[in-house]
Chain A
């Protein structure tokens, strides 16, 4: 059987207590939400830390009010929140098709946003990684996907919720030793080669907050993979728009699961503001999106195919926003 490695488990009761615990652990720790991502990696012996700080007992992180969702809210809780789903309908299907009911029961929002990037070379047992050869991201010198890369990992960002929050215009609230800060989620992810977001290691994701006017956006999340349950996205597209008749007043796009972070396509989207959302525009946006991504072979399906599917999913998302009958 797979054995969970040993670590010290801390259970702080408040955000400040957790932050203090993190500081005391001097970087050699991980926060724990539901553990559905972290503990899998631990069982595989990937980047195991001596201290694990569980955030499950912090009431503040479980708060859910009117567009603000605490980082510790489980996906199942969110899925059962009819008010939230009414206000932000793009989450309904996204949540219902995320991982599996069992995982949603345990997995949390913050854990989902901060889910580790995935790669066919990495998400393996220690035995398999030893046999295949270790890679840059854990215990090895070089990336296996992009040969020769010794400073950057190309593993796939595979969280489903962040892109939807992004196109709805959410902000993220972080708490750390320096106190709290709030920033747009679209500015949260950043490719700096090593880290993939601007969160400091000892900062806690307290909540995601949706602005009031997000309720008037029309959004869609189109996720592509070979099985409807369990499977992480092979690629996905999130889109949100405000339409005046069929004229685009506001447009936000994210290409997801084709790079190490969800790709915020703000410039591309802005270029279409003012255009009519007709078939020609949809085709043009889909083509632009396809051109804008360059997935690598870190997942099951061939990268060239995933690239082309970004266009197809973009078109689907836009057609759904336009009000076309959606394919189930």
Chain B
């Protein structure tokens, strides 16, 4: 099995201090740890939204500083912890994401498929600003899945969902990832979810260190 990410002596300010971390390709990796332990910071480093102050991050054995950041982000897509939707309808939100990644607009039935995966029962013409937090979170999830990257960095993708919806959504995302051979790195607050769906679990400690 090959590794999608290798981190070597990575430090980020005094927030993160990871001596050595290998993340495998094609599986679900769950990140657990109390709030403030640096989970979001780690995902942001992998998405190249911030750069480590020390150490190196390899993506498929290539140091990400030698890669074009925009091209990297089109392969390693991230869903942020606070889901942000853009002005306009659900369809326009999808199309904007496709435009960001310089992909062709998609037909409605394809968009609908992604709404189904994230269990969002809304018309494509629905105004994205007139949705609840949980609905927006699922739209943001569907939007990032649509872009068809190689890796999905999901930062607490179900934090605004009730227990039943959460279970359904995570299950269907995991199934989608397995069927399409995606690597998923998912932050979750729930060790139950991590145990049930994570092929690997990474625990982060308060000082931004990890034990596998």
Binding between chains A and B: no
- Chain B residues in contact with chain A, CB under 8 A? none
A residues touching B (Cβ–Cβ < 8 Å)? none
